[in-house]
Amino acid sequence: MAVEIEEAGSERTAAAGVRFEQILIEPAYRKVAGAIGERIVNRSLREGERLPPEAELARQFGVNRSTIREALRELESRGLVKRRPGSKLMAVSRPQHNAVAEGVSRALVMHDVTFLEVWSALTILEPPIAEAAARARSPDDLARVVDASEHFAALNADTGRAVQYAAEFFRCVGRATHNQVLGLAQEPLLQLLVPSLRVMIDKVPQARLRIAAAQKRIVQALEARDPEGARTWMTKHIRDFRKGYEIAGIDLELRITAE
């Protein structure tokens, strides 16, 4: 009898140690947004295709129109649908690179990334991009890279715009690869680079000349379709940023904050 009591007590102890997570009840508008979003992502609904009116969507999903409106607002915030001018209907759209990159940039800031981490990522990413651009660039691509470089060199008194063209130079080189993944990968980093670059250029007098000189060398390599030269000069260009930060007194271990 004592054995039976002991076994029952052990079972109760074991049962008491079992824990389950609460089941999360997803709001109806999230389920609707998920269903429509899945159709968009798997290309059942194509870019530009109009969605049915809210009343028809409400009928099909068996929910209120207010639920449909909330679902469409969520999809619109994600760049998956938009309302065309003069139309009451939502149409399928593709998220723009800038919008996607802004979301990634905000996430990186919230994860306490440092200037050093962004700089290190650029040293890994940008040289191969320059190398690929030297192989794949078209005459129009080269013209856009040259234009960004010339605008940067000409803006001696306007640091804000000069820095934007310094970032645009990287973007144009990225576009010259004709690889959308590479362009999307570099954009969040460039958005985080701009604020520190603005401070560095203002504090380091020789920074403008060194950036312009590096850009010129990269342009020459792209023009000559010289992948090795493009990679080498892009590597030097990115490494030079660190020297500029150190001269400007920017602590690379500091966390990046939103502007």
pTM assigned to the model: 0.75
Domain boundaries, the chain: 28-92, 98-248
Written as tens digits, the pLDDT of the chain (259 aa) is 454 555 555 555 555 678 888 777 889 999 999 999 999 999 999 999 999 999 999 999 999 999 999 999 999 988 899 998 888 899 999 887 777 788 888 888 888 999 899 999 999 999 999 999 999 999 999 999 999 999 998 877 788 889 999 999 999 999 999 999 999 999 999 998 888 888 888 888 899 999 999 999 999 999 999 999 999 999 999 999 999 999 999 888 888 876 6
CA atoms in the 13 A half-sphere facing the CB of 140: 2
Do 174 and 183 meet the contact criterion of CB atoms below 8 Å apart? yes
Radius of gyration of the chain (CA): 26
Instruction: Give counts: helices (H), strands (E), the chain.
Output: 11, 2
Q: Where are the alpha helices (DSSP H) in 180-226?
A: 180-203, 207-223
Q: Which pLDDT score, from 0 to 100, does residue 173 have?
A: 98
Tell me the C-alpha distance between 214 and 237, whole Å.
Answer: 6
Question: Does the domain formed by 28-92 have CATH 1.10.10.10?
Answer: yes
The fold for domain 98-248 equals Four Helix Bundle (Hemerythrin (Met), subunit A) (1.20.120)
